[in-house]
Structure 1
Amino acid sequence: MAQSNIKTVKASEIDLKERVVAIKRVAKVVKGGRRFSFSAIVVVGDSHGVVGYGLGKANEVTDAITKGIDDAKKNLVKVPVIKGTVPHTAEGKYCGGFVLLKPAAPGTGVIAGGAMRAVLESAGVKDVLAKSKGSSNPHNVVKATFDALANMRDAFTVAQQRGVSMDKVFNG
């Protein structure tokens, strides 16, 4: 993941909404048989460009979700959302998961699959065209979506990094 563009945020400063992406029952084989527990992927966001994800594992579903929410609040990042869409086309990759995000015209809506939809809606993206290529594993899709969002930069950030004015960014 490209860590250079990511800005971390404190969870105590903002009002976050949680979304459960996936819950799986996992088994550990022990001498007496199988021991079952649950794993939950949770995405939290404030719908204004702050989003995070977390994984929680426990013997009960509610405990797994609670642990996932706590983990997600520790991993919050700020992503650029301009006029309800992403600033430019971006690709993200994590293990076998590949995602493609494209900006869309107002009124298009979030055209994305399950795990990606949860991340984009939690981030506050209202119009986007997204395609998940490769693995459909929710873990990999969520992490690949975060990778794509981490690689996004708005025009103001580009101008700051280059040390030029905003006019120069657009007019070359």
Structure 2
Amino acid sequence: MRHEIIDASQLELTDKVVSIKRVTKVTKGGNTMRFTALVVVGDMNGHVGVGLGKAKEIPEAIRKGKEDATKKLVTVVRDENNSIPHDNLGKFGSASVLLKRSPEGTGIIAGGPARAVVELAGIKNIRTKSLGSNNKQNVVLATIAGLAGLVSPEDVAKKRGKSVDEIMA
């Protein structure tokens, strides 16, 4: 997964809480309760990130998750009809997410965790299928990995020393 340094202060980021889990640590002194928040942030224009925040209170966990996500922003390549340039499979742990390119008017066909990532990345037409594990955290990270692995036709053409028309033919 390629991470570019993106200045998050110049972006208008929107956040979505994917999941909040209550975690208990058992010690001989009793149980300590904490909360874990999985937060996705994006600018609806090709930048998206995911973060995990842990704290004793839910709002604090969400705030920490937002901070973590803004540090881990990735750039998503999109084509002219707000879809992805090619099909891709993102993997993280035992979760895999298949990202399929779609024509204009398809909309977002995706499950809960993958949908949050795709919407905040600014993609309007896409089909996704979650394969393997249904763990929300791994599905979100697999979707991010799949989106980060996308390559634009211009980049491929430059790498091969050809024109975009030669590659698309």
> Which TM-score tier does this pair reach, normalised by the shorter chain?
over 0.9
* Structure 2 counterpart of 1:52: 49
* Structure 2 counterpart of 1:19: 16
Give the stretch that moved more between structures: 58-67 or 91-100: 91-100
1:16-165 aligned within 5 A: 16-82=13-79, 83-165=81-163
Give the stretch that moved more between structures: 52-61 or 75-84: 75-84
Following TM superposition, by how much is the alpha carbon of 1:30 offset from its aligned partner in structure 2, in angstroms?
A: 1.2
Residue pair 1:10, 1:76 contacting (<8 A) in 2 also = no
In 1, the alpha carbon distance for the partners of 2:159 and 2:140 equals 28
In 1, the alpha carbon distance for the partners of 2:5 and 2:123 equals 18
In 1, the alpha carbon distance for the partners of 2:164 and 2:98 equals 27
Following TM superposition, by how much is the alpha carbon of 1:8 offset from its aligned partner in structure 2, in angstroms?
A: 3.4
Cα distance per residue 1:40-84 (max 9 Å; x no partner)? 010100111110110000000000000000000000111101121
Q: Partner letter of residue 124 of structure 1? A: G
The TM-score with structure 1 as length reference comes to 0.94
Following TM superposition, by how much is the alpha carbon of 1:170 offset from its aligned partner in structure 2, in angstroms?
A: 1.7
Alignment gaps of 5+ in structure 1: none
Following TM superposition, the consecutive aligned residue runs of length 4 or more in structure 1 with deviations greater than 3 angstroms are none
In 1, the alpha carbon distance for the partners of 2:64 and 2:11 equals 19
Give the stretch that moved more between structures: 104-113 or 51-60: 104-113
Cα distance per residue 1:100-155 (max 9 Å; x no partner)? 01011211111111110000000001111100011111110011111111211111
Following TM superposition, by how much is the alpha carbon of 1:7 offset from its aligned partner in structure 2, in angstroms?
A: 3.2
Query: RMSD of the TM alignment (CA)?
Result: 1.1
Q: Partner letter of residue 101 of structure 1? A: L
In 2, the alpha carbon distance for the partners of 1:116 and 1:98 equals 11
Residue pair 1:109, 1:128 contacting (<8 A) in 2 also = yes
Identity of aligned residues (%): 48
In 2, the alpha carbon distance for the partners of 1:7 and 1:162 equals 22
The TM-score with structure 2 as length reference comes to 0.95
